[in-house]
């Protein structure tokens, strides 16, 4: 194989990626939306000469910088670390395809960091009008970073180009301007602004509980970004769903988990919309500590659910139509059926023992989604004592036929037999 496997017991490697990525998304979206709100509200305070209101946003900027710069940087590095270990081929593909995009994003990331520190540490030293410009520079740089990252993650879900087929055009721009780029940019922008407003609620009720007038003003002002965020996010999600590839629509229709997550997501969105409308929008004085925290938890849960839906809907692909879930290129499946799956491995000596070979094939071909005995989609409970060699072998040979979210079998008949023996061994441990 191109790279060695990485086995994460119980939760599996993709779920570890999801866990780290979702935590980072909680912070990265706040980094974008919060930057936009700080820039707008800072300008509003300067234009209206409202020192008290501007002082609040100075306080908020400290909370904002600590959370987004310090914690955000750690989780960002964590994502690179986990994807490089869990999905090295997909990571290589994305780096090769989007090296120009990554370079641009890193430039804007540096601008973000510098602008964030200047914005906070020179809040009172700089001329207010100059400071407004600095906060606007941060907001623009952060949003451009979101746009660039969205183009890359959207490509993983749908590699069809907006202007040409990426596989035929083969350049960065065709890949970046994929069919999911625009709707996901719209939905993520709305989501970032909405989530940032919820962070502001929590921060404001904890720091302004003795200043009811200022708290009411902050909450009232945040009703605008809430409305903008809800409407924008809804438009983006609807467009994204309409433009999804046919295979993703089929996977979503057939997968119980995706349907459950979608129902949860829609339910949370409806509850949040009602709470925000009858709470901070109509009655800004009514917001409390518990209410603010509850709204933020709802918002984070909705965002996490949406991320899991996107990841689950992508299967069997890690990168749509290019890299499969078993860590090989789509174009290599037929070749590996002839030359052998393990023969393409440069990392380990092929064992002489049949079951050991089967275990190695399992690690390369299956462990990206399945734990062995215990954990997420573990093989042992899935088999439920099944030990009929022909039945197991036939199922493995046609992995992607009954379950379209699984990659096709990608080895020789001999390797299929090795994997079957390993599966039977796992199954036999179910019996007492």
* Better-scored residue on pLDDT, 239 or 282: 239
The DSSP letter of residue 67 is I
What pLDDT score was predicted for residue 372? 87
CA 265 to chain centre: 15
* Phi, psi (deg, nearest 5) at residue 416: -60, -40
* pLDDT reading at 169 higher than 60: no
Q: Compare 269 and 429 and report the one with higher pLDDT.
A: 269
Residue 79: pLDDT above 80?
yes
State residue 380's pLDDT score. Answer: 81
User: CA 22 → CA 52, 79, 129, distances in Å?
Assistant: 35, 10, 36
Q: How far apart are CA 238 and CA 316, in angstroms?
A: 23
Q: How far apart are CA 333 and CA 376, in angstroms?
A: 26
Taking only the tens place, the pLDDT of each residue in 3-45 is 888 889 888 988 898 899 999 999 999 999 999 999 999 999 9
Instruction: Give the Cα separation of 62 and 70 in Å (integer).
Output: 11
The pLDDT-based confidence of 142 (bands split at 50, 70, 90) is: very high
Q: Would the pLDDT of 173 be above 90?
A: no
Distance (Å) of CA 255 to CA 114, 115, 326, 403? 45, 44, 19, 9
Q: Half-sphere exposure of 127 toward its Cβ, with a 13 Å CA cutoff?
A: 3
pLDDT at site 429: 61
Q: Please tell me the distance from the alpha carbon of residue 121 to that of residue 115, in angstroms, as a whole number.
A: 10
The percentage of residues in the chain with a pLDDT greater than 90, rounded to a whole number, is: 63
Quick one: fold of 330-428?
Cytochrome Bc1 Complex; Chain D, domain 2 (1.10.760)
Confidence at residue 167, expressed as pLDDT on a 0 to 100 scale: 62
Three-state secondary-structure class, residue 6: coil
pLDDT confidence of residue 416: 95
* 166, pLDDT greater than 70: no
pLDDT-derived band at 72 (thresholds 50, 70, 90) equals: confident
- Domain spans in the chain, listed from the N-terminal domain onward: 13-243, 330-428
pLDDT at 426: 84
Task: Give mean pLDDT, residues 298-320.
Answer: 91
Q: Is 155:95 a contact under the CB 8 Å cutoff?
A: no
Helix (H) or strand (E) holding 317: strand 317-319
Instruction: Assign 337 a pLDDT band (cuts: 50, 70, 90).
Output: very high
Residue from 149, 161, 163, 186 nearest 320 by CA:
161
pTM: 0.92
What pLDDT is recorded for position 432? 47
Q: Give 215-245 pLDDT, tens digit per residue.
A: 999 999 998 999 999 999 999 999 999 999 8
What pLDDT is attached to residue 252?
82
Distance of CA 428 to the CA centre of its chain: 38
The H or E element spanning position 323 is strand 323-324
The pLDDT of 289-303, averaged and rounded, is: 93
């Amino acid at each position: 194989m191109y790279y060695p496997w990485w086995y994460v017991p119980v939760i599996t490697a993709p779920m570890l990626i999801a866990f780290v990525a979702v935590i980072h998304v909680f912070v990265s979206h706040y980094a974008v939306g919060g930057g936009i709100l700080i820039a707008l509200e800072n300008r509003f305070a300067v234009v209206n000469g409202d020192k008290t209101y501007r002082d609040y946003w100075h306080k908020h900027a400290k909370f904002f910088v600590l959370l987004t710069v310090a914690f955000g940087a750690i989780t960002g590095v964590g994502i690179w670390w986990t994807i490089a270990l869990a999905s090295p081929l997909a990571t290589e593909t994305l780096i090769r395809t989007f090296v120009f995009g990554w370079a641009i994003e890193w430039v804007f990331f540096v601008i973000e960091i510098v602008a964030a520190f200047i914005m906070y540490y020179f809040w009172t030293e700089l001329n207010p009008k100059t400071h407004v410009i600095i906060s606007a520079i941060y907001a623009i740089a952060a949003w451009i970073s979101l746009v660039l990252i969205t183009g890359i993650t959207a490509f993983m879900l749908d590699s069809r180009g907006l202007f040409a087929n990426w596989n035929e055009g083969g350049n960065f721009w065709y890949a970046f301007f994929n069919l999911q780029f625009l709707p996901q940019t719209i939905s993520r922008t709305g989501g970032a602004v909405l989530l940032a407003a919820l962070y502001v609620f929590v921060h404001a009720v904890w720091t302004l509980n003795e200043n009811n007038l200022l708290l009411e003003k902050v909450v009232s002002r945040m009703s605008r970004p809430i409305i903008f965020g809800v409407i924008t996010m809804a438009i983006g999600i609807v467009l994204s769903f309409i433009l999804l590839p046919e295979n993703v629509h089929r996977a979503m229709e057939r997968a119980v988990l995706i349907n459950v997550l979608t129902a949860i997501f829609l339910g949370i969105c409806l509850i949040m919309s009602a709470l925000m409308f009858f709470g901070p929008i109509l009655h800004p004085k009514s917001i409390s500590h518990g209410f603010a925290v509850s709204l933020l938890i709802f918002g984070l849960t909705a965002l996490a659910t949406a991320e899991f839906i996107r990841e689950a809907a992508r299967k069997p692909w890690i990168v749509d139509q290019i890299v499969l879930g078993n860590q090989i290129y789509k174009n290599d499946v037929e070749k590996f059926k002839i030359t052998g799956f393990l023969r393409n491995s440069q990392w380990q000596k092929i064992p002489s023992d049949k079951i050991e070979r089967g275990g190695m094939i399992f690690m390369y071909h299956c462990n990206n989604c399945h734990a062995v005995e215990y954990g997420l989609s573990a093989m042992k409970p899935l088999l439920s004592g099944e030990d009929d060699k022909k039945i197991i072998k036939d199922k493995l040979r046609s992995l992607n036929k009954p379950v379209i979210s699984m990659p096709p079998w990608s080895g020789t008949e001999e390797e299929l037999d090795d994997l079957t023996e390993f599966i039977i061994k796992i199954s036999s441990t179910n019996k007492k």
